[in-house]
Amino acid sequence: MSNITLTEDEKDVLQELMNVAYGNATAIVADMLDAFASLSIPNIKIMQTAELLNELHDLKGDSYFFSTQAFAGEFSGESAFFIDNESAQNLALHLELETDEDLQDAILELTNVLTSSLTTRLAKEMNTEVKFSLPSISKIPLNEMDQNDSFKEYSQVIVIDTQLNFEDQKINGEIFILTKDGSIEWLKNQLNNILEAMM
Amino acid sequence: MAEKSTQQYLRSNDVNEKLIASIDNGIIILDEELSIFYYNKWLEIHTQLKEVDVLNHKIDEVFTNINGKTLKRKIKTALRMETPTFYTATITKYLLPIKINQLKISGFKHMRQDVSVIPFDKEKRLVALIITDQTNVTNTNNLLQSNIKKVQDLNNELIKERETIDERVILLKIDTNNLITQTSRAYTDLLGFDKESIINNDYFYLERLQMPVALKEEIQKHQREKKVLKFEKVSLTSEGKEICLLSTLVPQYNQSAQHIGFIIFSENITNAKLLQEHQEKLLRNSRASAMGEMISMIAHQWRQPLSVINTIIATLKIKKELDILEDHLITSSYNRIEETVSFLSETIDDFRNFFKENKELKRVPMHIIFEKSNNLLRSEMEIYSILYEEDIDEKLLITTLQNELVQTIINILKNSVDAFKENPHDAQKLTVKSYESQTCITIEIEDNAGGIPKDILQKVFEPYFSTKSKNGTGLGLYVCKTIIEEHLKGQLTMRSRDNKTKTIIELPKNVVVS
Ligand SMILES: Nc1ncnc2c1ncn2[C@@H]1O[C@H](COP(=O)(O)OP(=O)(O)OP(=O)(O)O)[C@@H](O)[C@H]1O
Ligand SMILES: [Mg+2]
């Protein structure tokens, strides 16, 4: 796999960009949910896919909804959203959804909103454009996660822990932005451009 | 030149419009309140609604299945994000209810649709819904899914079966050079060897110590002929324990029908073998002990007649020496000896049949039974001055195994005579009675020879229990008990009081002997 890693400086810039993008996403999610919702300040980590799989392995608890959405362009990859069952039920409650299908549709929408707005904004900050394909969803037991071959295609993962807070209930989720080596190189390049410009 | 004019032509015409008209997608333009502003040809055809009929109508009123609230949310979000939002065929199935008439798609009534909600005009708050037919893809997906599930189920079953086979079936595979290529866990577990230490070894070398030459040759012959062979063989475990295996040699072929070796399936028949041997031993033992018991019984029953013969011969001898032997005594003695000898040989037959079934019942007068019994005891009773009294109705008949009943009565009477010899007195008396009731015939034999102490009385029927130091075998009453209770289905009891011993035999009238 890849040996490309980001330097501390590069990580700092990325974190900055993510914060901006995330602020944008928060506002959109609040709109979408038609409620006063706040997203906690994101905790952003960049890791190798193998590490991520290990981390997922350690997660206990019941099943998770796992939705993914591919994006294409100079910066390409796949974003994924993990939401635990309890949070999904909270979401259903909030949106007054009745059927499982409606719930899954809403999760996809949430995925789409979070990842699209995040990635679009991130791309915009880096002077590029991305195009999204349809998201897909699966409800999978975590222990089958590492059999998910699509994950292995990627080398680096940007992991964003999020927490949506409503008046009385919380929705916890985790967003992953999975990228391939080529994109990481591109990203590294762009981050350095920004770094230089700031100097 | 041509290129240039084409380019000009394309610029001058509205390419987009043309393309959109012929595109294989549904396109609707909506505002935030769901009013329809554009409805393309594709939709007109598929929904059989004309654009003019739907323009300015709300889409959730035209298609009542649409959840307006959700759609509004998606539109609002798309406009807000400036990127599309979606409906997916896998989850929402369809937005517009378009019936499908294709026969091959059996599962679905309506076209499966992916729908992208694309921000179209931010100012005018318009979005475009791009509808893509995903029916075939979804159908293929579903088929794939159900097949994957089937394959998975089959695979799981296979794995499980493999495991059970490995666990249960004692199996060995050898190649054409007799090298072991595979063993099951059941095999290695049973014999206590490591798989590693067996694999790649020569089968015959491994078995060399426990395989008779003849068996080896037999196996090799079947190997040459590629035939199935069943054989029994003892194998040694790593701990040196013997295990008996019933094995089957089966030739093995690969997919291209090439012979690649043999499979040897085995069944552990050690326990079955042991059981069989054990049973045979038991059988031998019980036969031997039955034989022994029979001989002891014959020996016991022979003692009285033999002593009778002895007495006769001794008498003859003495009279001869004293020269007072008369002819008629010789004749009568001779007759009695003959009679007694034939009784001896009858006794052998009786006891040979002792453990057999279906013995022959006879209907005989009771007093005859006693006459036959007394034949062997009369002289002894006279010698020891024992008064014998018999109270038996001449007409009393009994259906019984005559000889066995006679042997019983001899034993009982003999015990009384023995007791008088031990404990002689002036008024020695033996009384015999027999009578019948509705269901049974009773025989009572009573002596006044001193009686039996209580603790001894409890044991008299046990085989080999005897208080007689010299000649007692202790079999007499045991034989009686066996005959009366097991063969004749009656009851034998003994009582003792006031120097008297009373033996009571109760026999059912309707005998079914065994
Ligand atoms: N009529 C009797 N009076 C006193 N004791 C008796 C009488 N009959 C049996 N017994 C006691 O019961 C014991 C067992 O009798 P049994 O006929 O079985 O063996 P046995 O007479 O001792 O030996 P065997 O029959 O070989 O001579 C005798 O040894 C004796 O002690
Ligand atoms: Mg006796």
B438 CB-contact burial (10 Å; exposed 0-12 / middle 13-18 / buried 19+): exposed
Tell me whether residue B514 is in a domain. Answer: no
Where does residue A83 rank: exposed (0-12), middle (13-18), buried (19+ CB within 10 A)?
Answer: buried
The reply to whether B187 and B76 lie within a common domain is no
B125 touches chain A (CB under 8 A): no
What pLDDT does residue B415 have? 95
Element spanning B163, H or E:
helix B135-168
What CATH number did the domain enclosing B46 receive?
3.30.450.20
Would you say residue B464 lies in a domain?
yes
- Residue A4 pLDDT > 70: no
Mean pLDDT of B22-49: 91
Residue A1 lies in a domain: no
For the segment A167-184, the average pLDDT, to the nearest whole number, is: 75
Residues B183 and B133 in one domain: no
Question: What pLDDT sits at residue A111?
Answer: 81
Q: Is residue A112 part of a domain?
A: yes
How far, in Å, from the CA of B299 to the mean position of ligand 2? 12
Q: Supply B124's token pair.
A: 């005018």
Residue B68 shares a structural domain with residue B88: yes
Is residue B200 in a domain? yes
Same domain, B262 and B287: no
**Secondary structure (3-state) at A42:** coil
- Is residue A124 in a domain? yes
Q: Which domain holds residue A166?
A: 8-198
Q: Are residues B438 and B345 in the same domain?
A: yes
Judged by CB atoms closer than 8 Å, whether chains meet at A34 and B73 is answered as yes
Query: What stretch of H or E contains B290?
Result: helix B270-321
CA dist B265 and B107 (Å) reads: 48
Domain count, chain B: 3
Confirm if B108 and B135 have CB atoms less than 8 A apart.
Answer: yes
Same domain, B402 and B443: yes
**Percent with pLDDT over 70 in chain B:** 93
DSSP-assigned beta bridge partners for residue A175: A81, A160
For residue B493, CA distances in Å to B82, B442, B443, B457, B461 come to 114, 11, 11, 10, 9
| Structure-token match 């939709």, residue found | B43
CB B416 less than 6 A from any atom of ligand 1: yes
Confidence band for A1, pLDDT divided at 50, 70 and 90: very low
What is the distance between the alpha carbons of residues A38 and A158, in angstroms, rounded to a whole number?
21
Flag whether B153 is in a domain.
Answer: no
* Contact (Cβ atoms closer than 8 angstroms) between residue B493 and residue B474: no
**pLDDT(B73) > 90:** no
Q: What are phi and psi of A119, to 5 degrees?
A: -70, -40
- Taking only the tens place, the pLDDT of each residue in A133-175 is 777 766 555 555 555 555 666 777 777 776 666 656 677 777 8
If one counts the domains in chain A, the total is 1
Structure letter (DSSP) for residue B487:
I
CATH number of the domain to which B478 belongs: 3.30.565.10
Residue A2 lies in a domain: no
> Of the candidates B252, B268, B284, which is a domain's last residue?
B268
User: Does B322 share its domain with B343?
Assistant: yes
CATH code for the domain of A115: 3.40.1550.10
Domain limits at B469?
275-508
Ligand nearest to the CA of B297: 1
Residue contacts between A and B (CB atoms, under 8 Å): 56
Q: How many CB atoms lie within 10 A of CB B30?
A: 23
Domain presence at residue B82: yes
Q: In the numeric block, which tokens belong to residue A4?
A: 């490309």
Nearest-CA residue of chain A relative to B77?
Answer: A32
Give tens-digit pLDDT for B352-404. 777 666 678 889 999 999 999 998 899 889 999 999 999 999 999 999 999 89
Same domain, B386 and B466: yes
Does any domain span residue A136? yes
Is-above-0.90 flag for pTM? no
Give how far A108 is from chain B: nearest CA, Å. Answer: 8
Say yes or no: B426 and B296 in one domain: yes
* Polymer length of chain B: 514
Among B460, B465, B480, B501, say which to mutate for ligand 1: greatest number of ligand atoms within 8 Å of CB.
B460
Quick check: is B230 in a domain? Answer: yes
Contact B404, B350 (CB under 8 A): yes
Residues B98, B102, B105: CA angle, nearest 5 degrees: 95
- Do B177 and B290 lie in one domain? The reply is no
* Same-domain status, B230 and B295: no
Q: Is residue B436 part of a domain?
A: yes
Among B413, B417, B468, B475, say which to mutate for ligand 1: greatest number of ligand atoms within 8 Å of CB: B468
Q: Does B3 fall in a domain?
A: no
- The predicted pLDDT at position A73 comes to 85
- CA B115 to CA B111: how far, in whole Å? 12
Q: In angstroms, how far is the first alpha carbon of chain B from the final one?
A: 126
Average pLDDT estimate for B80-108: 80
Ligand 2 center–CA B474 separation, angstroms: 6
